[in-house]
Structure 1
Amino acid sequence: MSGFRVEHERLSRAAGDFDDYGDRAGTIATELERALTEQGECWGSDAVGRNFARTYLPDAEATLKALGDLPEALVAVSGKLADTAEEYRSSERDAEQKLKLT
């Protein structure tokens, strides 16, 4: 016995939560991108504004990309958790069957 225990029903329910998290993250990403686009380059075009843009824009673009990728990643986690829950459920059934046969 490994001392490791999994409640596959709870794991399966938790997997479904990650689909919801993915939807919420997608909504947040869309709203943030829209709000930033509406603001435009509000830092101005003077020397200070250009310097700000030079340091801000690459990080802002990377952050928006990562946030845009998050929904897909969360849905993938959901699928992996659901698969893991099913594997545990199946292993438990198999073990029960073997015990009944002995």
Structure 2
Amino acid sequence: MVGNNRVRVDTSRLRQAAGGMDELGDKAKDIVTTLKNAIQAQGNPWGHDDYGDKFVKGDKGYAKSEENLLAGGDNMVDSAGRFSKGMSDAAAKMDDMDAR
């Protein structure tokens, strides 16, 4: 039960935090893109013999680990963007409520 307690939000600081989250997302995107480009530039150095196939293939092999790592990076970038938008939208809604 909240009673007469009020929630106070400094929307300018919330927008500032949203901008910081957006910058973080941009930096993460640059890192993931650099990683993808570096991996792609290497081609497929493993998997051309029995030993290499054992290293690369399977659920715990290099190829699956690489796929999971890159997907995780993409998810992190998307999440940062969604958090930033949510923070900005919340600030706008709060300002709109105060203006009424």
TM tier relative to shorter chain: 0.7 to 0.9
Give 1:86 shift.
1.5
CA RMSD of aligned residues (A): 2.1
Tell me the alpha carbon deviations over residues 63-92 of structure 1, each in whole angstroms, 9 at most, x when there is no partner. 212323433332222111101011222233
Tell me the alpha carbon deviations over residues 10-52 of structure 1, each in whole angstroms, 9 at most, x when there is no partner. 1011111222122212111110011112223334533232111
Alignment partners' CA distance in 2, 1:43 and 1:63:
18
Equivalent runs, 1:3-82 vs 2, <5 Å: 4-43=7-46, 45-54=48-57, 55-82=61-88
Higher deviation after alignment, 61-70 or 23-32: 61-70
TM-score, with length taken from structure 2: 0.75
Q: What is the letter of the counterpart of residue 23 of structure 2?
A: D
Unmatched segments (≥5 aa) in structure 2:
none
Q: Which residue of 2 aligns with 1:85?
A: 91
Alignment partners' CA distance in 2, 1:51 and 1:68:
27
Q: Which residue of 2 aligns with 1:99?
A: none
Higher relative CO (Cα under 8 Å, sequence separation at least 6) belongs to 1
TM-score, with length taken from structure 1: 0.73
Unmatched segments (≥5 aa) in structure 1:
95-102
Identity %: 30
